[in-house]
Structure 1
Amino acid sequence: MKIKTLNTLLLLFISFFISNCNSQKNVSFQPKVVYKSKNLIITQISKNAFEHTSFLQTESFGNVPCNGLIVRKNKETIVFDTPTNDLSSEELIKWINQELHSKINAIIPTHFHDDCLGGLKAFHNHKIPSYSYTKTIELAKMNNYEIPKNGFNDSIILKVGNENISAKYFGEGHTKDNIIGYFPSENIMFGGCLIKELGASKGYLGDANISTWSNTVEKVK
């Protein structure tokens, strides 16, 4: 199985060596920006998947774009990673409700940094269930961040419409808790900050495990 990187911040299409109608559809789909404001950009990357991009001001890297994923099926959605703050998260929630006319079944932060759960309180204010790897909950508590409500060990499968999505922990890398999300019906994988495009900077390494990172990525492949 070969992984093709869509952009520098870790949205992945999976294409199989054998013929696969879903993967062929994804490869031919031309991404298009469907919403843009000062704080938030939403790009449709397949029929039922959207990339959301918000921004995080950092001392070391400047104003960094941070990506998450929205998957949709039958008027339901699941979001991987919040925007970087509550204001941008409110904007995203409003767009999903008003433009996709869809319920948000869950928010899944892929690790404990601000680019994944910085806007989690906004989702909780809207009574949207949050799910994360148990280590993410532990690290969020240690760093006084908003805490995901539901934890899982190893992996979880949730419903969006009549489809399954999954999230799974493969090992340490960018952080001790980084997980991978997968939307099988359109062969879309979300790698969070664990999976990097060739040549891309590794970014912030303060919580990384450099010695295991490449081995963890190999497990994903």
Structure 2
Amino acid sequence: MRIQITFILLTIVLCAGCKDETLGKVYDTETLTLERVAPNSYVHTSYLETDDFGKVGCNGLIYANGDEAVIFDTPVDDAVSRELLAWVDSELDVNVVAIIPTHSHRDCLAGLEAFHDARIPSYANLKTIEFASRYQRPVPLYGFEGDIQIKVGDKEARCAFVGQGHTIDNVVGYIPSENVLFGGCLVKSVGASKGYIGEANIKEWPKTVEKLLEKYPDTKVVVPGHGESGGLELLNYTTELFSEKN
């Protein structure tokens, strides 16, 4: 009996510092939802009222490792961005080292000033910075061409321009340690419509998505800009949706 009690107490002590890695929803309010899709990766979803599509859920990604984190895309305004940052601070207890808007639309960078107010540096495709400035949207601080790697603890997050699609400036994020791809608005959830294509390169879109598989062949989790996350079926669906026969 003493041995059994000792074992139970030891288990409790050992597990007291264990990190709960259960996947699924971890936070939910009227303005912001957070879902864990991998041990250290979370999808943040905020909600944008649009004239053409009604209330639209807009996704971004948080990746945390050690005492640092990187975030792809801001929530839809500064207030919800502050809500997100408060959750990251209280629940993850990490320092956000970068915010990366994946293109220049409101669902990617409208909450950027909240990040700047928190002294978080922002990085974006040079074209995204150009468009944000031209259309008087919040402007990221630092620009890049091609690929960029952001150190997050002892690992890294990657961001890359693979080709045109939803816009000519759209980039994607990739977390090698978790095989998570944040496709942003370049990638559609299964069953989704084409959505807004006013600035799209329809001809190049399926080719660009095909390049994602070539560049990140170990991808396990795919997060779209809107809708449900999944696996490689999202890339296949997006390629088919924008193929010439459609």
Q: Which residue of 2 aligns with 1:129?
A: 121
Q: How much is the aligned-residue C-alpha RMSD, in angstroms?
A: 1.1
1:197 aligns with 2:193: no
Moved more, 81-90 or 207-216: 207-216
SS at match of 1:210: coil
1:218 aligns with 2:218: no
The one of 61, 84, 98 equivalent to 1:92 is 84
Q: Which residue of 1 aligns with 2:47?
A: 55
1:39 aligns with 2:26: no
Alpha-carbon distance, 1:75 to partner = 1.6
Alpha-carbon distance, 1:195 to partner = 1.2
The residue type paired with residue 180 of structure 2 is I
Q: Which runs of 5+ in 2 are unaligned?
A: 1-20, 214-246
Alpha-carbon distance, 1:31 to partner = 3.1
Distance (Å, rounded) in 2 between the aligned partners of 1:30 and 1:215: 35
1:153 aligns with 2:117: no
Q: Which runs of 5+ in 1 are unaligned?
A: 1-28
Alpha-carbon distance, 1:30 to partner = 6.0
Aligned residue pairs: how many?
Answer: 193
Alpha-carbon distance, 1:220 to partner = 1.0
Relative to total residues, which structure has the larger strand share, 1 or 2?
1
Q: Which residue of 2 aligns with 1:110?
A: 102
Distance (Å, rounded) in 1 between the aligned partners of 2:77 and 2:23: 25
Distance (Å, rounded) in 2 between the aligned partners of 1:173 and 1:92: 28
Distance (Å, rounded) in 1 between the aligned partners of 2:97 and 2:205: 31
Distance (Å, rounded) in 2 between the aligned partners of 1:174 and 1:202: 9
The residue type paired with residue 164 of structure 1 is E
Q: Which residue of 2 aligns with 1:207?
A: 199
SS at match of 1:98: helix
SS at match of 1:219: helix
TM-score, normalised relative to structure 2: 0.77
Summarize deviations over 1:127-158 as a string: whole Å, max 9, x none. 10000011100010111001000000111011
TM-score, normalised relative to structure 1: 0.85
Alpha-carbon distance, 1:199 to partner = 2.9
The residue type paired with residue 31 of structure 1 is L
SS at match of 1:38: coil
Distance (Å, rounded) in 2 between the aligned partners of 1:177 and 1:49: 24
Q: Which residue of 2 aligns with 1:143?
A: 135
Summarize deviations over 1:105-148 as a string: whole Å, max 9, x none. 10000010011001001000111000001110001011100100
1:67 aligns with 2:59: yes
Distance (Å, rounded) in 1 between the aligned partners of 2:145 and 2:35: 31
Alpha-carbon distance, 1:37 to partner = 1.0
The residue type paired with residue 64 of structure 2 is R
Distance (Å, rounded) in 2 between the aligned partners of 1:111 and 1:129: 16
